[in-house]
């Protein structure tokens, strides 16, 4: 059995304390559970933040002030050794939604006074009983849409609050068979080998069928959306994405891990690519941009059945010269 129980408990204790802390106590919680030189990576407009106090002041306190009575609605929880080349350490992963009443503006996004969900996934590196690094990725455009903003043109997939795994077994609080994690990573690695090249020599449907179940669920970020089955994934995202970019770099990850039937990775960035077609209904710029991505997978048999995808689209378009967050929040609100 894989045994990352100590590292998992560090993160569970951190969440329990963070999710009930208020005001200045939030910084105290981060200081108690994280090292003084914590490296925190977050989506635009946060990027890299150093140290627990700065993370509390810049991210958690403003968010908690805006989303009052916030709850963590967790769908996936797992841990594992880092399998990325040249990397090491144990990482713990939490994925789900942060839910609250959107009562105050956040990052210029107008409050609704209604229930709101912020989709998130966090990777925590745990060493010596404390959190040393965090990758906190979140779907900010999803919250913008809930507030009535339109950050992007109409997307090709479905816009919705996304559910957790079909099997409802993603919270791996207990040890898991080590060989199941190995099987999961082997399935992810086969997919990466195809995806990273875009030149397997097979038609795209046949290439995807090597790694994915036919009824795959791809839970993509707001701006692209969610899609279901290989044929719809091809027409609503994968085929369009491949046709829209040139000069895709090789994939680079800071963490690759798997436990049980679940696994995932993140990079900073994962890859760069140059938009040469009309991606997301936006004009091509010909300028290479970074893709900061988290992918979380559920394996079924020896294929991948579900994929939750977080992409920092605001950062990508900001690199293209379009500050979508500023443009949306500066417009007069009706």
Domains of the chain, each with CATH number or no CATH: 5-146 (3.10.450.50), 178-330 (3.10.450.50)
Please report the pLDDT score of residue 129 as a whole number: 98
Does the structure show a pLDDT above 80 at 231? yes
Q: Do residues 43 and 290 make contact, with C-beta atoms less than 8 angstroms apart? A: no
Q: Tell me: pLDDT of 200 over 70.
A: no
Task: Say if residue 197's pLDDT is above 70.
Answer: no
pLDDT, tens digit, for every residue of 95-141?
A: 999 999 999 999 999 999 999 999 999 999 999 999 999 999 999 99
Question: In this predicted model, which residue has the larger pLDDT, 298 or 240?
Answer: 298
- DSSP H helices, the chain, are 5-18, 25-33, 52-55, 61-66, 140-146, 178-195, 204-209, 230-233, 239-244, 313-319, 324-330
Q: Model confidence over 43-81: pLDDT tens digits?
A: 999 999 999 999 999 999 999 999 999 999 999 999 999
The DSSP code sequence of 194-237 is HHTTS-SSS-HHHHHHTTEEEEEEEEPPTTT-EEESHHHHIIII
Residue 170's alpha-carbon distances to 100, 129, 161, 163, 267, in angstroms, are 22, 24, 17, 12, 22
Whether the per-residue pLDDT at 11 is higher than 70: the answer is yes
Q: Categorize the per-residue pLDDT at 241 as very low, low, confident or very high, splitting at 50, 70 and 90.
A: confident
Please, what's the b/e burial string for 143-155 (b: 16 or more CB within 10 A of its CB; e: otherwise)? bbbbbebebbeeb
Kindly report the pTM of this predicted structure: 0.95
Q: Which residue has the higher pLDDT, 120 or 192?
A: 120
Q: Which of 305, 306, 185 is nearest to 256 (CA)?
A: 185
User: Residue 144 has what pLDDT?
Assistant: 97
pLDDT of residue 249: 87
What is residue 333's predicted lDDT score, i.e. its pLDDT? 52
Q: Which secondary structure element, helix H or strand E, spans residue 140, and what is its range?
A: helix 140-146
Give 26's strand partners: none
* 131 φ, ψ (degrees, to nearest 5): -85, 125
Cα–Cα dist 298/167, whole Å: 9
The token duo for 199 is 């030149």
Grouping H, G, I as helix, E, B as strand and the rest as coil, residue 241 is helix
Tokens of 114: 């209604």
What pLDDT does 124 receive? 98
Region 300-306: mean pLDDT is 98
Whether the CA torsion 9, 11, 13, 16 is positive or negative: it is negative
Interatomic CA distance for residues 228 and 215, integer angstroms? 6
- 198 band by pLDDT with thresholds 50, 70 and 90: low
What pLDDT shows up at residue 193? Answer: 85
Q: What percent of the chain has pLDDT over 70?
A: 97
Q: In what order do the strands lie in the sheet with 255-259?
A: 226-228, 212-219, 303-311, 293-300, 262-266, 255-259
Give the chain's mean pLDDT.
94
Rounded mean pLDDT, 1-7: 88
192 pLDDT exceeds 60? yes
Closest among 164, 80, 58, 170 to 119, alpha carbons compared: 164
At 50, list the tokens: 């150093």
- Mean pLDDT value across residues 294-322: 96
**Whether the Cβ atoms of residue 309 and residue 293 lie closer than 8 Å to each other:** yes
pLDDT at 334 over 80: no
Q: Which two tokens stand for residue 167?
A: 């099997």
d(CA 44, CA 88) in angstroms, rounded, equals 26
Query: Which among 150, 153, 143 is positioned nearest to 104, based on CA atoms?
Result: 143
Q: Which two tokens stand for residue 68?
A: 């009052």
Q: Are 298 and 305 in contact (CB under 8 A)?
A: yes
Averaged pLDDT, 168-195: 95
Percent of the residues in the chain that have a pLDDT greater than 90, as a whole number: 83
Contact 60, 153 (CB under 8 A): no
Q: How far is residue 112 from each of residues 104, 288, 320, measured CA to CA in Å?
A: 8, 36, 30
């Amino acid at each position: 059995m894989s045994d990352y129980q100590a590292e998992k408990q560090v993160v569970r204790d951190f969440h329990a304390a963070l999710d009930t802390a208020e005001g200045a106590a939030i910084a105290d919680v981060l200081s108690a559970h994280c090292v003084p030189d914590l490296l925190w990576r977050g989506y635009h407009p946060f990027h890299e933040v150093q140290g627990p106090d700065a993370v509390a002041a810049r991210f958690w306190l403003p968010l908690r002030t805006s989303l009052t009575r916030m709850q963590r609605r967790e769908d996936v929880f797992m841990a594992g050794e880092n399998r990325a080349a040249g990397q090491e350490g144990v990482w713990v992963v939490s994925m789900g939604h942060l839910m609250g009443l959107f009562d105050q503006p956040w990052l210029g996004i107008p409050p609704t006074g209604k229930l709101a969900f912020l989709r998130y996934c966090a990777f925590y590196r745990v060493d010596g009983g404390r959190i040393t690094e965090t990758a906190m990725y979140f779907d900010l455009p999803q919250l913008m849409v809930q507030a009535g903003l339109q950050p992007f043109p109409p997307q090709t997939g479905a816009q919705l609050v996304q559910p957790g795994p079909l099997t409802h077994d993603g919270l791996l609080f207990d040890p898991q068979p080590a060989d199941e994690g190995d099987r999961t990573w082997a399935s992810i690695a086969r997919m990466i080998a195809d995806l990273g090249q875009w030149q397997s020599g097979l038609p795209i449907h046949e290439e995807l069928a090597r790694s994915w179940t036919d009824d795959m669920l791809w839970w993509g970020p707001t701006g692209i959306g969610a899609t279901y089955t290989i044929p719809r994934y091809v027409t609503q995202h994968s085929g369009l994405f491949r046709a829209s970019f040139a000069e895709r770099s090789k994939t680079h990850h800071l963490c690759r891990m798997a436990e049980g039937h679940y696994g995932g990775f993140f990079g900073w960035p994962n890859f760069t690519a140059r938009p040469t077609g009309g991606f997301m209904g936006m004009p091509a710029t010909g300028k290479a941009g970074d893709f900061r991505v988290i992918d979380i997978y559920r394996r079924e048999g020896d294929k991948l059945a579900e994929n939750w995808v977080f992409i920092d689209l605001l950062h990508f378009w900001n690199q293209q010269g379009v500050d979508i967050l500023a443009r949306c929040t500066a417009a007069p609100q009706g």
